[in-house]
Every structure is written in C-alpha cells, then in structure tokens.
A and B are shown apart, each in its own frame.
Chain A
Amino acid sequence: MSAAAIELRGVTVRYPGTDRAAVEDVSLEVAPGELVVLLGPSGCGKSTLLRTVNRLVQLESGSVSVDGRDVSSFDPVELRRGIGYAIQAVGLFAHMTVAQNVAVVPSLLGWPRADIAARIDELLALVGLDPARYRNRRPRELSGGEAQRVGVARAIAARPRVLLMDEPFGAVDALVRASLQRELARIVAELATTTLFVTHDFDEALKLADRIVVMHGGRIEQAAAPDDLVERPATAYVRELVHAGDDVYRRYYEHVRETLARN
C-alpha cells in the first residue's frame, strides 16, 4: 500500500463562541511517506490542525486534500477508516481485550477473521509485545508504555496510508518515551506511511521528524527540516525555541547521531 500525500490550503478553523481562530490560514504540503512533526505549545492549534485531516474538526475556510482529493468529498466514516489515529490518552476500549482493540478497524472494514487474527499477532510483535502474553489482556492490566504500544498497533492495523498521532507518547515517563520513539521511528520507516505527528517536545521533534512545522497562535512560524530549523531559525519565536536551554549544540549533535543511526 503506497503512502498518500496530504495538502492543506488556507485552512482556518474557528471554534464556536471564540474570537480568535484556532488555526489561521495554514498551508502545508506533506509528501508521501514523510513524517512531519507539528510542534508548538498548548493552544497553538497543532491538534486542531491534525484533526482537520480526518474531519474530526470542521473547517471555516480552506481545504484539506489527501492524494489530491478533498477530504470533504469522502464519507467521513470511510475516510477515517483509511487514516490511522492515535491520541495521548490512548483511549483503548476498556471493555475489550488488547486483540479486540487492535482488530477494531479491520473488523469495521470486514476483513476475514483469519486475516484479522494473523494481523493482530503481526502488529503486537511489531510494537514489541509478545502476542501470546498480550492478546487477551485487558487495557486495565497494561502499563502506560504497553498501552501506548497497543494504541499504535491499533492505529496502523488496517495499513492506513496516512497516520495521525496526537502526542501519543506524552503520558509516559522519559525512559519509556525514548524507547517508544525509537520503535515508532523504526515502524514508520518500515511502513513508509505518511505521518503527521503532534508534540510540544522539541527533542521528540528533532528525533522523529523529516520536517518540523513550528506553530504558534494558530499560524505556522516555520516549516523546515531539523537541520535547517536549528541552523536557520526564521522567526524570533523559532529562534527562542531553538536556543532555549544552554545545550543546543549538544542536542544538535545528538540529532545528527540519531539521523546517522537511522540511515
């Protein structure tokens, strides 16, 4: 399954009852297979922007297209079944087992039962969970990191061409997060899915992104590859972001090391 391109043109989103737009006139192109990180503080509009792609959020103006086709021309339910979705709170269905959770989208799509069973095992292994041990567990019995992994498995279960992730590793401790980030980078590279990834963590952005889109107050400050962002910050805000803390160079070199390890 080939990855899809995402195109956002002049997207504006305003929540009813607020004066300021949550997202203001944002345009962005994501190439097939690219992992783009939406980075910014809370309230900058990054999650809102993410959710315009699978139509969980309505546009006031502008358009969003996947592979050249406007998302508003799809049936929203069908659209979402083709787009992976993982959120910070994970939202694993408490009344279902791990296997049933992961199987949600394939079963909605009507996959044959045998195919679903095989896919579940494949996915659990992919996210580093032993299928035999985890298949029949309940979400309640999982640790934070295990739940996040199941969430990722669930998101990519039906081999979506687009993957949307909203701070999926936000709720776990730093060590677990680091390991999950590595796993995700590996998975995404393997699957070559087009991925939009939201975070407020600059380090995470540096580690994962092909391109970083810095957002502030509903607008894009800068969209660039990590190197370019760090070496040539385009606005005062980005400059402040990059230079926050004293060890910017350490981080930069760390990033270079990671990049080398990945390729």
Chain B
Amino acid sequence: MTVSRARALALLAGAPLLSACGSRGSRVVVASKNFTESFVIAEIYAQALERAGMRVERRFNLGSTEIVLAAMQRGDVDCYPEYTGTALIDVLHMPPMQDPHALYATVAREFEKRYALTWLQPSPMNDSQGLATTKAVAARERIATLSQLAPIAARLRLATIQEFLSRPDGLPGLQRVYGGFDFRDVRTYDIALKYEALVSGRADIATAFTTDGAIATDDLVVLRDDRHLWPPYNVAPVVRAATLARLPHFVPVLDGVSPRITDRAAQQMNAAVESRHQDPADVAAAFLRNDRP
C-alpha cells in the first residue's frame, strides 16, 4: 500500500484514542456498580444530567466499590450512586451507625476529607438487608417486626443465600441482637430463585434487600428491624469535588431528583427491569417523566 494510504489508516486508528483523551468540556462520566439497582439509579442521574444539557458518558457495570472509587480518584469517572452503609463499613472501615442522618454526615465529611469526593443529597430509599414474608404468613403468625419473629422462628423455614449464613451481620448478627432465630429449616438458593421458594410456599421467610423488585411484584411484607441490627443504606450521588467546581449546576439537577427515589419507587423500578425485562434506560426515563415540578 502507498505511504499516504498507510498514514490515513493510522489516523483512522488513532482517532478513537485521541477522542478518548480529549478535553472534558461539559462531558461527565457516570458509573454504576454491577447490580440492577445501581444501574437504574445511575441511569436516572445520567438522564437528569443530559436533560440539563450535559454530555454524559456511561461506564456502567463496574465490578466493585474498590474499582469505582479507584476510577473516581483517577478521574476516569465523575459521579456514581453510593450507599451510606456501604461507604461507612466497606470503604471507611468504621463501626456501624444507626441514625441515618448522623451516618450521612459522617460519610460525607470523611469522603470529602480523604478522597475529595462530595456527597449530594441522599434519597429516602433504604436498600438495607431485611427479612421478607408473604402477607399470608405475616397475618397467620401475627408478625410485623423482627423481635416478634425471633422466638417463633423455630417453627418456620428460611430461604436465603449462602453469604447470609456467614456474614457477621447476617444470621449470626440476627441471633446476637435478637436472640432466637433458630429456624426449623434453612435452605440456600440462588439469588434469583430465593423469592420463588417463598412465594411457592416452600419457605416462610426469605432474606431480602429492602428494595428488591420482588417485594413489589409478589406483594411481600418486610419485617421491621426494630432493634436496628442493620444500618441504613441510603443512596446518594457521590461526585468528584473537581467536577463540581467545573460544573456547579450538577448539584441542583441531582438534588432535584434524589428526594423522589423512595423505597416503593425503587422496588417498582427493580421489578420492571428484573421481572419484566425492561431496559434500565426506559425505566429511568419513565421515572423522570413522572416529574411534577
């Protein structure tokens, strides 16, 4: 091939590289972790920012909190949804706190200090651990809280995932804080099949995340954690301080969206994606459209 053709091809090859290293301008990168809820919330943030006129690049499905944080600090990512409980325990390695406001204040302060990352307004939704049951079982056993469940667990069957049995804040934690919780039968399932066991009557209680889609879909009841074993996990946008300096109108855009993400909204959106196989982008768009100023 001629020299000029070779050069043209090299330019063609280099173009994507060049654009990747290009200047940021009003371009922001939004990341998510690798589970449905993180996708949906990140997509909500991304679309809200796009509606406000920013160019958003999505780097979703990142493998773990460590990876995302590393990317944030490197500047590969500008913003992602994080949970207060996760931040406290897994990132800051501090002991659990119960009060959601104090918890938020703590993580916000420490993240600013240690990582130059800013926490924007949190959402009311709390994606914590929990135990769920059907309305029928709740009515039959007359339970609404974990304290009520603890003594009668001996005649009930639990459906759970492997991790729950060994985590310190899993079954051991329940037994430590509430006493009892000596289930008649404990079976582990794949995360996708756990609720099926509950709904089909092969189990009475299932471990849950309190915003799981199945709770909305299968009309389940989450028992109240009245002794506060599990800390709150409120989600909020975490943004690089440098990005906020560059794009200050980030704040009102996302602060306008966060308060509307409630437990119920989260459950419904998760259900839409996981059971009805809708695209997270469509689900997020629908959520934003219900916006009433």
Q: Do the two chains touch directly in the complex (Cβ atoms below 8 Å apart)?
A: no
Q: Which residues of B contact A (CB under 8 A)?
A: none
